[in-house]
Structure 1
Amino acid sequence: MTRVVVEDASYVVTVDDADTVLTGTTVVVEDGVVTALRPADDGPVDADSVLDGRGRLLLPGLVNLHTHLPMTLLRGLAEDVDLQGFLTRVWAAEGAVMDPGTVELGASLGALESLLGGCTTQLDMYFHHEAAHRGAVAAGSRHVIGPVFMDGPGPDGLAWDERIALMRAWPAAMDAIGGPEVPVPAMPHATYTCSPERLAEVAATLAEVGAGRRSLLTTHVSENAFENSDVRERYGASPTEVLAGAGWLTGDVPFVAGHGVHLSPEDRALLAAAGGAVAHCAGSNQKLASGALHWEEVHDDGVRLGIGTDGCSSSNDLDMWQAMRQAALLARLTSGRPDVASAHQVLRAATVDGARALGLGDLVGSVEVGKRADLVLLDLERPHLTPVHDVHALLVFAAGRSDVTDVLVDGEVVVRGGRSTRLDTADLLARCRERGATAGAAARAAGEAS
């Protein structure tokens, strides 16, 4: 048995159902599972590894509900354009440079950035999913990814039948790579790049290959107004209605809608009835001028909300603290109400609600005995975190990724003292700079051509 102990944490923000906050608490982790939350004055606990919690705040690892980790290598290559202009430039760069080796490299970089910032779980969507999974798992992430589907060849050049074959092979391939437990997902790009008939085939294939284990469906949904009008012109229905007609919203499999900015009341009713979730990417949506999701409408209609960063080529970073703050502030701006998107709600969206959206709520998302130890420690000995009056408000409106000192995933300390315990960071950065230069040249050529 391996035992890791966080001794005498000044605060433990559990994000349990009662939003319990503990003080002066020692957290005991045995073989990856939280086994005790005990008063620190009960005395020390023998352990294989000890983290000093004094002057620290412990909380569950953050859950990024929508991102594209390998696009760290494309950061800053599609600026001052809308979603359609962004796709034109980025897809050209992807087709030129994002082979499996490059994808693995970019996923490691993205996972490292995420983990150093306290994000332990990512719902990732990218081509060459097997390579991306290897890269992210190597960094220590709880990484959720599966085959991407498009009617056309896409940047990876695959035919439809090849994509279906990858879906059938993915559970075994994922098990072979290893890493913390995650669902088997299928992730068509969008309703404007996959026909309804093929979306139905994806859902049926996942039901077959995911039988007896956790599974998940996700895709981009109503990211901007043009997408809605384009899909309605093609099929006479909204993207959500297309998905419902393709058998995606039965409630049998967890479903995450990436973005969901322009959902109608009817769309929201369909999602709520199916137990679906929206991954709110406030930063990316604002940067691409895609629109503003109305938090209070989505929340009040019974749709679960999670927080996402989107990919680095649109949002430019994987900072979940900034994403939380943007979500809260945008919700108050659009509603005109300072009580919308409370700090409690937003923190839950970035932790336990994100985990539940993935079908992992029984494993992670809160600090509770019996759950897997995906945990983050923040240094409270910082001017901007002093004094502490409301810990939830502190986390959403004041804390940042530079405050993260230590991170556990599945009970393993993957970040200690602000440094990765798994990766040679200097070597990774050097290789990413070299490959990034090639991506930059391809993106600039695409921009000139368009």
Structure 2
Amino acid sequence: MSRLAVAGARHVVTVDPDDTVLHDTTVVVEDGTIVEVRPASAGPVDADEVLDGTGRLLLPGLVNVHTHLPMTLLRGLAEDVDLQGFLTRVWAAEAAVMDPPTVQLGATLGALESLLGGCTTQLDMYFHHDAAHRGALAAGSRHVTGPVFLDGPGPDGLTWQAREELLRAWPAQLAALGGPQVPVAALPHATYTCSPERLAQVAATLREVAGDRPALLSTHVSENAAENADVAARYGRTPTEVLADAGWLTGDLPVVVGHGVHLSDSDRGRLAAAGASVAHCPGSNQKLASGALHWEAVRESGVRLGIGTDGCSSSNDLDMWQAIRQAALLARLTSGRPDAASAHEVLRAATLGGAEALGLGDVVGSVEVGKRADLVLVDLEQPHLTPVHDVHALLVFAAGRADVTDVVVDGEVVVRGSRSTRVDTPALLARARDRAAAAGAAAEAS
């Protein structure tokens, strides 16, 4: 049995059902599970490892519900374009250089960036998903992924049959690779790159191969107006209606729709009835001029909201703190109401709400006894974090990834003193620079 103690945290933002905030508190972890949350005044804990929480705030790990980690290597290759222009430019670079070893490298780099910023879980859609998973696990992430589907060959050159075979093999492969608990995922790219018949096939196959294991479906939906127009011209339906017809919205599996900027009232009603979630990516949506998701309308429809960064080619970073702040501010802007999205609500969306969207709400997302220990320490001894009047507002509107000092995933300390305990960072960065040069050349050639 291994014991970890996070000792004497000045504040603990639990994100429990009552949004409890504790003070001067120690959290005890045994074999990866939180077993005790106790006053620091109760005295020292017998533990194999101790993280000093003095002058720090403890919160659950952030959950990124929509990203593309290996695209860290493509950062900055598609600037000043909309979604369609972005895809044209980036897919050319991906086809040229993003083979499995490169994907694994990019995923490690992306997971490292995420973890250093306090993001412990990512829903990651990318080609060569098994390589991406190995890369993210190497850095210590709780990494949710699965095969990507497109009607055509795509940048990875695979046939539809090959993608189906990858999905059938994925549950066993996922179990063999180990790592923190995650669902079996299937990730068709979008309703404009996968036909309705094949979307239905993916859902049916996932239900078959997952068996009694937790499973998840996710795809891009209504990211910009041009996408909606394209799908309507092809099928006379919205992307959400296409998913409903394809058997995605039956309520038996978690479904995460990426972006959801241009959902109709009817779309939101369908998603809510199925218990589906929207992955809100405000940074990417603004950068690509895709539009502004109306947080209040989505929430009031009953659809769960999580927060995502999207990939580094469309948002340019994996900074969940920035995405959290943008989500809160954009909600106020689109509604004209300063109370449209409270700091409590937005922080919950980035932690427990994201975990629930992935079917992991009973596993992570809050600091509670019985949950797995995905935890983050934030250094409060900073001018911009002093004084503390409202800890939720402090986290949403003032804190940033540079304030993260220590990160625990599944009970393992993967970041200590703002440095990875798993990754040789200088060596990784050198390899990434070398491989990124080839990606840049391919993008220029396109």
User: TM-score band (shorter)?
Assistant: over 0.9
Partner of 2:415: 415
CA distance in 2, matches of 1:424, 1:311: 23
CA distance in 2, matches of 1:295, 1:86: 25
Shift of 1:177: 1.2
Partner of 1:316: 316
CA distance in 2, matches of 1:37, 1:334: 39
Partner of 1:232: 232
Partner of 1:114: 114
Partner of 1:283: 283
Shift of 1:211: 1.0
CA distance in 2, matches of 1:116, 1:335: 33
1:219 aligns with 2:219: yes
Write the mapping of 1:22-41 to structure 2, written as runs, cut at 5 A: 22-41=22-41
1:405 aligns with 2:379: no
Shift of 1:176: 1.3
Partner of 2:201: 201
Write the mapping of 1:97-246 to structure 2, written as runs, cut at 5 A: 97-246=97-246
- What TM-score, normalized to structure 1? 0.99
Per-residue CA deviations over 1:118-175 (Å, capped at 9, x if unaligned) read: 0000000000000000000010000000000000000000000000000000011111
CA distance in 1, matches of 2:122, 2:439: 23
CA distance in 2, matches of 1:6, 1:159: 49
Partner of 1:257: 257
Per-residue CA deviations over 1:177-197 (Å, capped at 9, x if unaligned) read: 111000000000000000000
Per-residue CA deviations over 1:248-271 (Å, capped at 9, x if unaligned) read: 000000000000000000000000
Shift of 1:427: 0.4
CA distance in 2, matches of 1:180, 1:313: 27
CA distance in 1, matches of 2:110, 2:397: 24
**Counterpart amino acid of 1:444?**
E
Write the mapping of 1:6-25 to structure 2, written as runs, cut at 5 A: 6-25=6-25
**Counterpart amino acid of 1:296?**
E
1:373 aligns with 2:376: no
**Counterpart amino acid of 2:59?**
L
CA distance in 1, matches of 2:343, 2:86: 32
CA distance in 2, matches of 1:351, 1:366: 7
Partner of 2:358: 358
Per-residue CA deviations over 1:366-419 (Å, capped at 9, x if unaligned) read: 000000000000000000000000000000000000000000000000000000
CA distance in 2, matches of 1:80, 1:440: 16
3-state DSSP of counterpart to 1:59: strand
CA distance in 2, matches of 1:187, 1:374: 25
CA distance in 2, matches of 1:175, 1:35: 26
Partner of 1:382: 382
3-state DSSP of counterpart to 1:217: strand
3-state DSSP of counterpart to 1:378: strand
CA distance in 2, matches of 1:45, 1:331: 43
CA distance in 1, matches of 2:340, 2:48: 44
CA distance in 1, matches of 2:162, 2:50: 48
CA distance in 2, matches of 1:82, 1:341: 27
1:346 aligns with 2:349: no
Shift of 1:278: 0.2
Partner of 1:69: 69
CA distance in 2, matches of 1:54, 1:423: 26
Partner of 1:49: 49
CA distance in 2, matches of 1:331, 1:443: 35
3-state DSSP of counterpart to 2:19: coil
Partner of 1:441: 441
Shift of 1:212: 0.6
CA distance in 1, matches of 2:308, 2:262: 16
Shift of 1:445: 1.3
CA distance in 2, matches of 1:198, 1:245: 11
Structure 2: unaligned runs, 5 residues or longer:
none
CA distance in 2, matches of 1:260, 1:234: 19
- What TM-score, normalized to structure 2? 1.00
Shift of 1:444: 1.2
3-state DSSP of counterpart to 1:444: helix
Over the aligned positions, Cα root-mean-square deviation in angstroms equals: 0.4
Shift of 1:239: 0.1
**Counterpart amino acid of 1:165?**
E
Partner of 2:328: 328
**Counterpart amino acid of 2:30?**
E
CA distance in 2, matches of 1:433, 1:382: 32
3-state DSSP of counterpart to 2:115: helix
Shift of 1:92: 0.1
CA distance in 2, matches of 1:357, 1:100: 28
Identity of aligned residues (%): 79
**Counterpart amino acid of 1:354?**
G
Per-residue CA deviations over 1:88-140 (Å, capped at 9, x if unaligned) read: 00000000000000000000000000000000000000000000000000100
Structure 1 runs (4+) greater than 6 angstroms displaced? none
